[in-house]
């Protein structure tokens, strides 16, 4: 799942207007042809997307253990017990699920801003007069099209105890950690370093209680060093794809407004802040939305590199759901986790949409785009121009 | 990639520049000479730094796959294998690596062919044909595109199991052919080309499928290439689907097979030349496609931007 997650773009899509045709033109022949043409994909998507979701929802309400059909008579209906087990009932299953949510939340908090900032920064630099532009663009984008398996194998080697990363750190006198087996949380270490607390003897106020089966101390650990290595891997892999989106959007930033701002004496930062950034707002929204959706689904890297270790600090909901089903046979619970994860993604993207809404900027952007289109600059690298 | 970006800050007046922007015409004197030089220098520092960060891992990967196990472990940073050996590749071909590669190839071919054909059909119908339920169908396409793929892992297994095709070759490729995003891409493309030519063909009495096959598809070449490349890359790199769709060792694809080199019993020990060699070989097909058709990759990635 390294590819840029294009599907979710549907969230940000404005409905495409139908070509102006009247209803009377519709013939019965087109009716039949329309459905005949669509039928194969409709059947496949129904069979492998819609029906699976319905089936999984049924399984999440049962105690099915993976034997026979989940619809057979021996399978017990348990209502929302599986959801209660992972969300409200104290116990190990809830503790594990909350730990996975904790890990994934820290992962998102670090990956999304980092990859967005790097993507935007690289796009801005590449959008100036630079030699060998396409060389740099290719170098930054290539990891995005490479398999997560290949990249994970390379990073296992780079981050191994005596590996290249620690070798480089050694050159500047830093004794690097044993990345993939170090479960110490970054915030715990930072607080320790600043003298706020002693990480080996945490303050009782934080360890004594906390919501949802984890202590405050555990919630506030930050990503472990092992998870930090995964964060670096994913930021490295995905920033290039988002960079391309910013590059495409930068072409739409109206040059005359830039020039007018310069004439008015605006410095580079002011021009960026007041001209470029507002024009990039829709892309910024898209990139953070795709980032949120993608990062909450992290599975491949955990499966390949850490399997949730060390000390469950790289456990993620997607991976926990997989092991609960395929390794421990708790299919109902695993399906319930999938739906909770689904709900989290939906809620967060909705909240993010609300927070980042800005009608004025979007209207301006649309106007700018329309103006750009009227000038019909031939060099836009949009999809439709690409192949000609 | 030959296209350039017209709105570089130093060229705000829209003066023509050469393709790579290297020979700017006389700049309007805005009195920012030295500042601009420093800015440019910093830009190159940033770019070169990131280029090293991005290329060095690939370099290490290539070099290490020609090292011995001890050499790889003892000197992970050196870019000269001592001695140069192809032992890792010989050992790799003693594993089931060739079988995995074969499986990856036929799965990718079937998925790509299926997606391109069926997505064009459905995309054409949604863009051009007036039929009852069309707008509902398009809404459904958008809704399906928004479903996070990882959420489908367990559900997919349930359906494959129920249909009795779990652990069969069909389970490897058929679910991957289902693709709403491809339908969306093709629909957008067909809407961007004028309908006049196909209408002329239709007036001549050609059937809808005939018009689609002989007139529309040949015109859709750029979109078809983009979709072909995206589908090939996606199925070649796919991992989670293969994990839940089969367990038979004879059905391992490259991603799943190579993953066992590090997660399975073979993962013990420091066989870094072996695993990195495998990673290198499985990257080559996608790399070739990428460098040959780079502009289509870029176009595909920008689809997201176009949609926003």
Q: Mind spelling out the 3-state secondary structure of A114-140?
A: HHHHHHHHHHHHHCCCCCCHHHHHHHH
Q: Any alpha helices (H) in B76-204, and if so which ranges?
A: 87-94, 97-128, 134-145, 153-163, 169-177, 180-192, 196-203
Nearest one of A126, A115, A336 to A250, comparing CA atoms: A126
Nearest one of A133, A152, A145, A139 to A233, comparing CA atoms: A152
CA distance A156 to B262: 9
Interface list for A 63-122 with B (CB within 8 A): 69-71, 121-122
Question: Tokens in use for B283?
Answer: 């990257």
Nearest one of A254, A251, A270, A252 to A262, comparing CA atoms: A270
Phi, psi of A76 (to 5 degrees): -90, 140
The sign of the CA dihedral A54, A40, B299, B191 is negative
Res A361: pLDDT: 58
CA distance A176 to chain B (A): 14
CA distance B178 to A40: 9
B37 touching chain A per CB within 8 A: no
Residue B16 CA from chain centroid, whole number: 34
Mutation to test the A interface, candidates B123, B185, B224, B305, most A Cβ within 10 Å: B305
Assembly ipTM = 0.82
Confidence at A111, pLDDT banded by 50, 70, 90: very high
Give the pLDDT confidence of A230-253 residue by residue, as tens digits. 999 999 999 999 999 999 888 878
What pTM was computed for the model?
A: 0.83
B29 touching chain A per CB within 8 A: no
Question: Tokens in use for A19?
Answer: 């070509």
Mean pLDDT rounded to a whole number for chain A? 83
Mutation to test the A interface, candidates B61, B164, B302, B303, most A Cβ within 10 Å: B302
Radius of gyration over every alpha carbon of chain B, rounded to an integer in angstroms: 25
CA distance B13 to A258: 10
A196 touching chain B per CB within 8 A: no
Mutation to test the A interface, candidates B65, B130, B137, B285, most A Cβ within 10 Å: B130
Confidence at A383, pLDDT banded by 50, 70, 90: very low
CA distance B183 to B118: 8
CA distance A107 to A185: 12
Nearest one of B171, B297, B249 to A2, comparing CA atoms: B297
What's the rounded mean pLDDT across residues B261-275?
A: 68
Phi, psi of A224 (to 5 degrees): -70, 170
User: Which DSSP string corresponds to B212-264?
Assistant: IIIIIHHHTHHHHHHHHHHHHHHHHH--HHHHHH---GGG--HHHHHHHHHHS
Phi, psi of A68 (to 5 degrees): 65, -160
Interface list for A 313-372 with B (CB within 8 A): 318, 321-322, 325-326, 331, 334-335, 338-339, 341-342, 345
Nearest one of B143, B136, B148, B226 to B180, comparing CA atoms: B143
Kindly give, in sequence order, each residue whose CB lies less than 8 Å from that of residue A224, ignoring residues fewer than 6 positions away. Answer: A103, A182, A183, A184, A185, A186, A310, A311, A313, A314
CA distance A98 to A81: 17
Interface list for A 120-139 with B (CB within 8 A): 121-122, 125-139
Confidence at B302, pLDDT banded by 50, 70, 90: low
Task: Give the burial class of A373: count Cβ atoms within 10 A of its Cβ; 0-12 exposed, 13-18 middle, 19 or more buried.
Answer: exposed
Res B113: pLDDT: 95
The sign of the CA dihedral B171, B174, B176, B179 is negative
Give the pLDDT confidence of A244-302 residue by residue, as tens digits. 999 988 887 877 887 888 888 888 888 888 888 888 888 899 899 889 999 999 999 99
B284 touching chain A per CB within 8 A: no
Protein fold of B97-253: MetI-like fold (1.10.3720)
Interface list for B 65-124 with A (CB within 8 A): 72-73, 76-77, 118-119, 121-122, 124
Protein fold of A89-185+222-386: MetI-like fold (1.10.3720)
Res B95: pLDDT: 86
Q: In the 8-state DSSP scheme, what is residue B11?
A: G
User: Which DSSP string corresponds to B135-169?
Assistant: HHHHHHHHHHHTS-GGGGHHHHHHHHHHHT-TTSH
Nearest one of B137, B230, B152, B136 to A345, comparing CA atoms: B152
> Which chain A positions have a beta carbon within 8 Å of B11's beta carbon?
129, 255
């Amino acid at each position: 799942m390294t590819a840029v997650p294009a599907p979710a773009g549907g969230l940000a899509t404005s409905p495409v207007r139908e070509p102006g045709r009247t209803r009377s033109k519709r013939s019965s022949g087109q009716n039949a042809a329309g459905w005949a043409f669509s039928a194969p994909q409709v059947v496949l998507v129904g069979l492998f997307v819609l029906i699976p979701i319905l089936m999984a929802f049924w399984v999440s309400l049962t105690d099915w253990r993976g034997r026979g059909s989940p619809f057979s008579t021996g399978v017990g209906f348990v209502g929302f017990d599986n959801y209660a087990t992972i969300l409200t009932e104290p116990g190990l299953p809830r503790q594990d699920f909350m730990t996975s949510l904790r890990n994934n939340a820290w992962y998102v908090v670090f990956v999304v801003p980092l990859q967005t900032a790097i993507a935007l920064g690289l796009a801005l630099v590449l959008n100036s007069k630079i030699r060998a532009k396409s060389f740099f663009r290719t170098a930054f984008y290539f990891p995005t099209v490479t398999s997560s398996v290949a990249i994970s194998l390379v990073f296992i080697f780079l981050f191994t105890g005596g590996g290249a990363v620690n070798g480089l750190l050694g050159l500047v006198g830093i004794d690097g950690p044993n990345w993939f087996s170090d479960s110490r949380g970054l915030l715990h270490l930072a607080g320790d370093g600043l003298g706020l607390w002693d990480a080996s003897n945490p303050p009782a106020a934080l360890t004594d209680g906390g919501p949802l089966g984890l202590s405050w101390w555990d919630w506030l650990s930050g990503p472990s060093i092992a998870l930090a290595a995964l964060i670096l891997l994913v930021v490295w892999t995905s920033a290039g794809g988002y960079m391309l989106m910013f590059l495409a959007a930068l072409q739409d930033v109206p040059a005359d407004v830039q020039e007018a701002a310069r004439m008015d004496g605006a410095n580079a930062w002011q021009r960026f802040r007041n001209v470029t950034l507002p024009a990039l707002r829709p892309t910024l929204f898209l990139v953070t939305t795709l980032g949120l959706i993608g990062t909450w689904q992290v599975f491949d890297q955990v499966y390949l590199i850490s399997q949730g270790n060390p000390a469950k600090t790289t456990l993620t909901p997607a991976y926990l759901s997989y092991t609960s089903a395929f390794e421990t046979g708790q299919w109902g619970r695993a399906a319930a986790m999938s739906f909770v994860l689904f709900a989290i993604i939906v809620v967060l993207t909705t909240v993010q949409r609300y927070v980042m809404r800005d009608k004025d900027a979007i209207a301006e952007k649309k106007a700018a785009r329309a103006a750009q289109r009227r000038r019909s600059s031939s060099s836009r690298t949009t999809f439709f121009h690409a192949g000609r | 990639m030959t296209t350039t970006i017209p709105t570089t800050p130093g060229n705000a007046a829209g003066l023509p520049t050469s393709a790579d922007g290297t020979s700017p015409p006389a700049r309007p004197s805005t009195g920012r000479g030295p500042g601009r030089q420093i800015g440019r220098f910093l830009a190159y520092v940033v770019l070169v730094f990131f280029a090293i960060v991005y290329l060095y891992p690939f370099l290490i990967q290539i070099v290490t796959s020609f090292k011995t196990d001890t050499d790889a472990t003892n000197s992970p940073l050196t870019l000269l294998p001592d001695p140069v050996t192809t032992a890792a590749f010989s050992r790799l071909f003693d594993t089931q690596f060739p079988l995995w590669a074969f499986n990856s190839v036929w799965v990718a071919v079937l998925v790509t062919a299926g997606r391109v054909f069926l997505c064009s059909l459905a995309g054409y119908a949604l863009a051009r044909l007036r039929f009852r339920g069309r707008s509902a169908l398009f809404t459904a396409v958008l809704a399906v595109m928004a479903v996070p793929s990882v959420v489908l892992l367990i559900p997919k297994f349930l359906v494959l199991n129920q249909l009795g095709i779990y652990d069969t070759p069909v389970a490897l490729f058929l679910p991957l052919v289902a693709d709403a995003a491809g339908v969306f891409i093709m629909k957008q493309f067909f809407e961007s080309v004028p309908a006049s030519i196909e209408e002329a063909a239709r007036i001549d009495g050609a059937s809808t499928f005939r018009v689609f096959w002989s007139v529309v598809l040949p015109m859709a070449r750029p979109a078809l290439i983009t979709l072909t490349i995206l589908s090939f890359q996606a199925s070649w790199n796919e991992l989670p689907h293969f994990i839940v769709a089969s367990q038979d060792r004879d059905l391992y694809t490259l991603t799943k097979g190579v993953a066992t080199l590090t997660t399975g019993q073979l993962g013990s020990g420091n066989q870094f030349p072996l695993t990195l060699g495998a990673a290198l070989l499985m990257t080559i097909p996608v790399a070739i496609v990428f460098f040959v058709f780079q502009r289509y990759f870029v176009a595909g990635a920008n689809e997201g931007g176009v949609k926003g």
